[in-house]
């Protein structure tokens, strides 16, 4: 059966697993001799694959059932996280990034749709995600500092495997029909028409933010002199704040206003990064970042879940929400390459991201002032 606590455990373990690929992969590439520009280029096949996978499998969860894609995604994520330790060339890394992106896009919509099926609040579910990132940051930071970087990817693969076994043994989703047909056949156009403003703000805000994360570990290591363990702690501060806010506050209030507030605070957070000159100062900026992302993520997720319920297409609606993050991860590397090749500094990316996100806040504020959560079919 699918219970909120079971889904939370799976969400936690899978997000512990993903932290190595997101935050320590640039350092692994750097150690393997890749250049800054090559590191930026390698984000593109991953983001393209993640976008296509989230969009496709989100829709399939509505028409074919949740469970098959939950199990398949977790198992393949385990395998494709392990293989990062094998290649040593740009081409092989690109292939494995592509495969990993497909794997990681298979199961998020299935987890969210199962949670919605069982009336699990989105803020509570998302707090498990943030807790996973917190534990992943601390554990992988320690592994990166006291062992080789490859240890973080071995650990991530093991965690995905454990999530798969847990879902299998607990029969997660067993009380939800394995082949589910919506009252309305899943249609991308209908879902996009009702959610486009949320998807747009995700693409713009997170796309500009993604340009920062491409080189974030290198900024912390090269510009601020942080160790692998300290990098893990800075990430853990961010995600720990997210976990607390998501669990205690993010399921309350108007989700559209919450999304707007999260976008505004994100602009402020991005602008604060270049002002930091040491470990303590950058750690303080992560409190604001965690607060902003908690409101941003859950506000957007609650909005698209509500509309998905009205359309009987929760999987499609939330799958496209996750796909919007994937589009932003395509925009991010392109923006990072353009800005970095022009200015040759990591901080220039942060200023550009702050400007774009501030403009996004204004755009969404104007749009949401004339929109409501009422749906007319």
Residues 6+ apart with CB under 8 A from 35: none
In CATH, the number for domain 4-178+186-368 is: 1.20.1250.20
What is the per-residue pLDDT for 374?
45
Among residues 202, 198, 206, 200, the alpha carbon closest in space to that of 353 is found at: 206
Mean pLDDT of all residues in 168-176: 74
pLDDT(347) > 70? yes
Alpha-helical regions (H) of the chain: 4-19, 25-31, 36-63, 67-82, 90-104, 108-117, 122-146, 150-169, 188-218, 228-248, 255-272, 279-311, 314-343, 346-368
**Are the CB atoms for 66 and 116 separated by under 8 Å?**
no
Q: What percent of the chain has pLDDT over 70?
A: 92
Confidence at residue 176, expressed as pLDDT on a 0 to 100 scale:
56
Q: Work out the pLDDT band at 373, boundaries 50, 70, 90.
A: very low
Residue 376 clears pLDDT 50, i.e. is over it:
no
Q: What is the pLDDT of residues 21-49, one digit of tens each?
A: 667 787 788 888 888 778 878 878 888 89
- In this structure, what token pair is assigned to residue 128? 């498990």
% of the chain with per-residue pLDDT over 90:
24
Query: Considering only CA atoms, which of 334, 108, 132 is closest in space to residue 214?
Result: 334
> What is the distance between the alpha carbons of residues 25 and 23, in angstroms, rounded to a whole number?
6
Residue 3 to residue 114: CA distance in whole angstroms = 9
Whether the predicted pLDDT of 77 surpasses 90? yes
CA–CA separation, 361 and 25 (whole Å): 31
Q: Where are the domains of the chain?
A: 4-178+186-368
What CA–CA distance (Å, rounded) separates 228 from 89? 23
Residue 377 has pLDDT above 70, yes or no: no
pLDDT at 262: 93
Residue 146 and residue 26 in contact, taking contact as beta carbons nearer than 8 Å: no
Give pLDDT tens digits for 224-239: 988 877 887 888 898 8
Answer whether residue 207 shows pLDDT above 80: yes
């Amino acid at each position: 059966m699918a219970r909120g606590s079971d889904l939370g455990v799976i969400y936690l373990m899978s997000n512990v697993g993903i932290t190595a690929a997101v935050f320590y992969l640039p350092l692994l590439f750097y150690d393997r001799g890749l250049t800054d520009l090559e590191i930026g280029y390698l984000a593109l096949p991953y983001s393209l694959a993640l976008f296509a996978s989230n969009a496709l499998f989100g829709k399939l969860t509505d028409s074919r059932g949740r469970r098959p894609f939950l199990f398949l995604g977790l198992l393949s994520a385990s395998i494709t996280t392990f293989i990062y330790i094998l290649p040593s060339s740009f081409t092989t890394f690109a292939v494995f990034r592509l495969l990993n992106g497909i794997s990681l896009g298979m199961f998020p919509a299935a987890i969210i749709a199962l949670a919605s099926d069982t009336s699990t609040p989105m803020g509570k579910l998302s707090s498990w995600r943030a807790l996973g990132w917190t534990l992943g940051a601390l554990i992988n930071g320690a592994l990166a500092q006291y062992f080789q970087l490859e240890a973080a990817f071995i650990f991530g693969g093991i965690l995905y495997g454990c999530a798969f076994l847990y879902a299998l043994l607990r029969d997660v989703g067993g009380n939800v029909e394995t082949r589910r047909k919506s009252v309305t056949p899943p249609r991308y156009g209908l879902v996009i028409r009702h959610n486009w403003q949320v998807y747009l703000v995700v693409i713009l805000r997170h796309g500009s933010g993604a340009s920062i994360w491409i080189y974030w570990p290198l900024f912390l290591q090269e510009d601020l002199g942080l160790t692998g363990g300290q990098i893990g702690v800075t990430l853990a501060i961010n995600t720990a704040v997210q976990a607390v806010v998501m669990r205690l506050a993010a399921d309350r209030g108007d989700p559209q206003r919450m999304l707007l507030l999260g976008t505004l605070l994100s602009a402020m957070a991005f602008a604060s990064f270049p002002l930091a000159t040491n470990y303590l100062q950058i750690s303080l900026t992560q409190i604001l970042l965690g607060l902003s992302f908690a409101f941003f993520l859950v506000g957007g997720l609650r909005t698209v879940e509500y509309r998905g319920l009205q359309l009987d297409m929760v999987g499609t609606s939330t799958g496209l929400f996750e796909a919007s993050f994937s589009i932003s991860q395509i925009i991010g590397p392109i923006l990072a390459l353009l800005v970095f090749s022009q200015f040759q500094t990591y901080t220039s990316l942060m200023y550009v991201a702050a400007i774009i996100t501030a403009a996004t806040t204004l755009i969404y504020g104007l749009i949401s002032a004339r929109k409501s959560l009422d749906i007319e079919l």
